[in-house]
Chain A
Amino acid sequence: MGKVERRSVLKAIGLASVGAMTPAVLNAEVLKEPYKVIGKSLKTDVLIVGGGTAGTIAAIQAGRAGARTILIESGSQLGGTMTTGGVTFPGIFHAWGKQIIGGIGWELVTDCVKLNGDKLPDFSIPPDRHWKHQVSINGFLYTLLAEEKCIEAGVGIRYYEAPTSVKFVNGEWVVHTMGKGIITQITCNQIIDCTGNASITSMAGFDVLRETETQPGSLIFQIGGYDYKALDLTKIPKQYHHVLRQNMVKNQLRTSAENTFVPYGYVYVPEADSSSSESHTMANRDGRSTLLNLIRKLRTFPGCENLRILDLKTETAVRETYRIDGEYKISHEDYLKGKVFEDAISNSFYPIDLHREGKTIYQEFLEPDVVASIPLRALIPKKSKNFLVAGRCVSSDRMANSALRVQASSMGMGQAAAAAAVLANKQGVSPLQVPVEDVKKLIREHGGILPITT
């Protein structure tokens, strides 16, 4: 390349004027004023705290029913235990050959299945194992679709925020939240606590309950880099077989009607508690160090020399913390007998499923044709006003809760709680005063399936 030629090339790419540009670039740097935490004041009809399994559905329902809705989520995405916790296995929407939970949760799940090119299990045949009717979903897609649907419904999503105080003043809730560089005051008519931990209920001054010993949490991961079938299991201590096997279960894609698989492996995290940053940090640390040690150990076994971790969920998923003391407490017996309440606003179907000391699972199955139901009163803390909850903190005894907490039921509760909140806001009353038939009508209009009262 000749001299002239090179100069014209340099000019063309703008380098010929490098010398001339330098001062301008330097000038672009300005001294900024110190980082300031700004204050903001917002007003809304319905405030939902916690954008997890139940909260996402509640927010979409409230928005679609026409209420001004704000959703605050302390994390960075929607879905909670389903996505951030990695439990991408929602269930159970069908029982005994019929759909029993529908509406917004089901819409999201089926959209997710379709967009991922997956297939739904054949729900017409009751399966031999309940989990075969859970739906395996792509968690990433779920996060994206949930957010899209919230935005479409006009929901104001606020990530990275959490309430610092909750007060009922002159018939309205005043909630202060703290986020990254922002303090917000939100004034609203109705609150729905979907934190999973009943945190807002407690902050608002209503009673919450907790077992002396809670079920362990789980940190979900995937490992690979070895061939389970080729392993000589006689050379590997028995307690590790299931860890190695669990991840292989993923590959058992069924050709039969129940097109589903178990999407993960996990380590138990005893006493995991997500109700404060400190306790959740501890649960994450414990889970991660247990997993790291496990990986180190597994790699010492013959055939596992190249074992690798392929996926690790963002945080330890938590099974059990606090429950509200509600206007009605669903009992173990109510659940197993499939009691249908006058104010039943959602079905629920799952076995009693208690993880004891992180070692065994206690299960009790519902008899044929039995489906449990959830009364609206179980979503309303005693003595509360303009306040509801949805999700695993539903008012229930421990055994009933171990079944009620599952994702389809949590979604059903989210939709119902929002319907009650929207109507309470419209009618200027507390959720308990809204005629339950109005709540049921609104739920039905948005696809919720109501228990059949005889």
Chain B
Amino acid sequence: MFRQVQKKAMPILHRLWKSWRYAKITLAFVVLSFVNMEKIKYFQPRTILMEPYSTLEYSVAVEDSISDTAILYKVSSKEGFPIYFYRELFTPVCFDNKCRPLTIRLYWNVTGRYLGFELPEGEFLSKTDHDPFTTEEYEKLNGILANESTPLASIDYNQLTVDANSHGLDDIDGIASATPQNLAPYVINGAAYTTYKLWHEINGPMKRKVQDLTIDDLSPALVLKILKSPVLVDKIWALERIDGYVEFTTELKEQVFELMKDDNYIIVEKALNAINVNELDSDNVQQRLMETLVHENYNIQIRVIEKIADCDALKTSVTMGLVENLGDLNGQVLKKALLVLGKQKLTSDIYFKIAELLRSENRFISNSVKMFLQNENIKEPQILTLLKEE
């Protein structure tokens, strides 16, 4: 409701303010406070949807103009799970050497991802000439702050106003330099500094501190909760923090193998990487990897067979499974599977089973198997005859 009123009111106010320079700041305060008794706040989806229970404070070193440390608040649930983090930022917003202090609360998700911002009652963000942000601009800002991959990451503040040709990078294939035009999607027009400053606050030392604090609290249960996040980067963050961080419990194992069925290969790869080499000795893990190998597609099979290759010795049932499915494997997966088999102690029965593929109508398969058998110390006369025949 407020946003609709604000949207309609803005153009009118804008015209009024053009001639009414100083009074307009006050007016804006009045109007905004009048139409909006609620606070201005924008958020992204949160991973842990539990009720806040307690808040802890942490002092973090920052390079602020005002202070060199800042307080980071961690909000946790009754059960002790971190839910989100926030800090209060006090910063001057200046134009024509006239500054006004701004207070803004910045929020982080437990994974360090930007979660949102909130302004105190009656407070608003403003642009050049102290024009307040429109609803669209607040929404755009929310999107910009949520985007970790932006040119703002790699440029200095003074490059925000750089001359278009000063880098001369534009004629490298498809690579354009930071110019006011191509930075436009990444800043709020007239509030480039505010955008830049907030983005760097979000993605600076505080973010790392948030991640470190979550890592301190990391448990299989917390990882499980993050793995269920609807946000891709959260899932990946959690998958990257299993091996070497938490115990690989049965529940976690289940969830990791469940994620191997995801249709996004990025997740599947990360899920495979989450399995520690020591886990590969277990029957259950080997068996689950075999099942994934059989059911998944080529791109995933390559990564799975590489993982299986890390196993010191395959369980008999897994070796049998691999041999039985050999004829259905393609290209590099087949080659790698044969390499894995080459490292196992194989029985005569297994050699016979593999030798059946010498008759495959796919020349690539029969040739690969022939090369494999030729390199093995085969004693079985029938197989030796077959090898000569082929």
Contacts and interface: CB of A to CB of B under 8 A. Distances in A.
8 contacts: A97-B232, A102-B265, A125-B148, A131-B175, A152-B368, A238-B168, A256-B149, A351-B174
A104 B299 contact: no
Given A107-B332, A128-B147, A98 B298 contact: no
Contacts of B150: 128
Kindly name the residue among A127, A128, A353 whose own CB sees the greatest number of chain B CB atoms within 10 A.
Answer: A128
A156 to B, nearest CB: 12
Interface stretch (A190-198, A302-310, A443-451): A443-451
Given A99-B264, A449-B299, A154 B169 contact: no
Interface string A135-170: 000000000000001001110000000000000000
7 shortest A-B CB distances, which residue pairs?
A: A242-B168, A447-B298, A66-B362, A102-B299, A64-B331, A99-B265, A241-B168
B331 A361 contact: no
Interface residues of A, number: 55
A68 interface: yes
Contacts of B364: 63-66, 153-154
B153 A447 contact: no
A353 B367 CA distance: 43
Contacts of B362: 65-66
Chain B interface category by residue count: 35 or more
A124 B233 contact: yes
Interface string A424-450: 000000000000000000001111010
Interface string B258-273: 0000001110000000
Interface in B290-341: 297-299, 302, 330-332, 335
Contacts of A128: 147, 149-151, 186
B133 to A, nearest CB: 22
A141 B85 CA distance: 46
Given A68-B363, A128-B147, A245 B168 contact: yes
Given A104-B331, A446-B331, 17 more contacts: A60-B331, A64-B364, A66-B363, A89-B173, A99-B299, A107-B331, A123-B266, A128-B147, A153-B331, A154-B367, A245-B169, A257-B149, A262-B175, A355-B173, A361-B171, A446-B298, A447-B331
A129 B175 contact: yes
Contacts of B233: 124-125
Interface in B142-186: 147-151, 153-154, 165, 167-176, 186
B236 interface: yes
Contact of B299 (A67, A154, A447): A447
B83 interface: no
A377 interface: no
A242 B148 contact: no
Contacts of A129: 151, 175-176
Interface in A348-363: 351, 353, 355, 359-361, 363
Contact of B297 (A94, A98, A249, A444): A444
B389 interface: no
Contacts of B373: none
Contacts of A363: 174, 176
Contacts of A94: 266
Contacts of B242: none
B361 interface: yes
Contacts of A106: 299
A75 interface: no
A152 B364 CA distance: 8
Nearest to B268: A99
B299 A126 contact: no
B166 to A, nearest CB: 9
A343 interface: no
A154 B362 CA distance: 11
A445 B168 CA distance: 45
A154 to B, nearest CB: 6
B264 A98 contact: yes
B266 A361 contact: no
B168 A124 contact: no
B266 A98 contact: yes
Contacts of B168: 238, 241-242, 245
Nearest to A239: B168
Contacts of B171: 242, 359-361
Given A64-B331, A66-B364, A129-B151, A102 B298 contact: yes
Nearest to B165: A238
A238 B171 CA distance: 14
A325 interface: no
B275 interface: no
B227 interface: no
B365 interface: yes
Contacts of B147: 128
Contacts of A99: 264-266, 299
Interface in A96-110: 97-99, 102-104, 106-107
Nearest to B360: A66
Interface in B364-390: 364-365, 367-368
Given A128-B147, A445-B330, A245 B167 contact: yes
A82 B135 CA distance: 47
Interface in A64-104: 64-68, 89, 94, 97-99, 102-104
Interface in A32-70: 60, 63-68
A108 B203 CA distance: 34
A246 B361 contact: no
A425 to B, nearest CB: 12
B335 A152 contact: yes
Interface string A293-334: 000000000000000000000000000000000000000000
